[in-house]
Structure 1
């Protein structure tokens, strides 16, 4: 009789779930990965390999994790690269530069000043820096990660929608068949995580937040470009055009019409828009902890010893990276919890 029991079942086949599966398999654990086949938040959102330069003054822990772990993506991300291998950090005002320079120096981020007059298609900024960020085709990246998982001994992802059940007596969680039996379960389902936990009767402190960005065909930039003061516009090369994004207003986003108008106004300010009717708005989703004190670089919650606000569960870990760039960092933390 074949024993189908395994060490760890990873629920989620996006970038975080696959990096966790690869890392666990490399440590000698028997791992399976379960996914529903839908693109996760990382695949549906903006798609840049961050150096951490953008977040350095405001989210130093996230910035440090991006910088320290981004090299682990290069062999997968380079074949999926759009545009130049470096990006630009631009400033409207020289007054805003120093706090970024101080933060970059503290973390060790490789940023070099360049002539503002050569800053692409934009009106010359007050200051410009070359940073090691680049845009990535997320579908190609994900396919490469699937191949890496297979080569690391992780069988092909089982394409099933997971349903978690928590036994109130044993506190153990189980997954409906045909998922294999496992000693531990790691939930790395991104935006699907809160619903899976709630449906299983597991209290948690997570919430989903919608984010908006736009795609404009017919325009081009050479590499990822960020304005780090003023409106904080982000522009990324894309197939046949550009992607554009703005931070939310007070952490939130408006209606589709409002966000579309806001992005078009920003493009007008930067002289990148010619009233094109084919501009499209795309909604993405991120899953985040509600606690302001949570580590933004990655969240790994071991429910065998849960923090406040979480239901004890004897064989479940929940994992969320701060950015997909930090997914390997998140995987390392899962390994630390399980081995």
Structure 2
């Protein structure tokens, strides 16, 4: 959602019908997920040129540790300005940055500076920077915890920092001590850098709560096809399949199954996903969101055709041929008849 839309209370993953009720004049634009992924990769490439310590946490967010990079690029504030300039010139995207001595404070500084801001919190001023901000700015403070803290008279992060840590721990348990440390700007978590990917997934948030079994089945099939193609593109195979179902009241359940053997084939993924769905979904139930993920990923370089029966070999060869057609002519160049024009949207 754009910043203008957020002013009406519209947020990411909100059903379209709800968003249109909040803002009847809302302008809805088509999505281009391949383009989003391309630009994300371009931005991340720039970040990796600045420092090897890059921890990507979403398609458009990352932490950087620039310790030791000053001799190459200058002080942190200059590095921030250089990143903004390069991303704007090379990828045509605005960037917001927060610079601080910890991930926690840097993330909050980045959020405060949006859109297209650059906020620098000098060492030793973390608590002063955080103090006037509303308590909900802290990681781990959602609606429920925020409401509970406000009932205690804690309106700002500074209010929380002034509380006795023992009292907070008695009231909130162990999270009370963690929140108190966060309110003081204390965070020692390192920038993780490269992390091995253990799963890939996709979710579909429906414009209206959906209870049609055929439509839900098509969604599972489309996601199975897309995840299988992504596995093959990364030369990986999966050992697990996991589904996620979210209901209109936001109750969410996840169920998973171990595969009899690793796979990168849509038919295998869909067979097990559909079995999980049929087992745990009751006819007539409406869903707000349906998700599918594959986990237990292994490098697929040793995934040899001669280990499988002739029919499996033919399916594997066919899948690879279809992948090549889609790479050359686009994802809609060839698809199942039941999915024509119905591809779901993609999220990691």
TM-score under structure 2 length normalisation: 0.22
Q: RCO (CA 8 Å, sep 6+): is it higher in 1 or 2?
A: 1
Select the structure that is richer in helix. 2
TM-score scaled by structure 1? 0.22
**Structure whose alpha-carbon radius of gyration is higher:** 2
Query: Which protein has the bigger strand share?
Result: 1
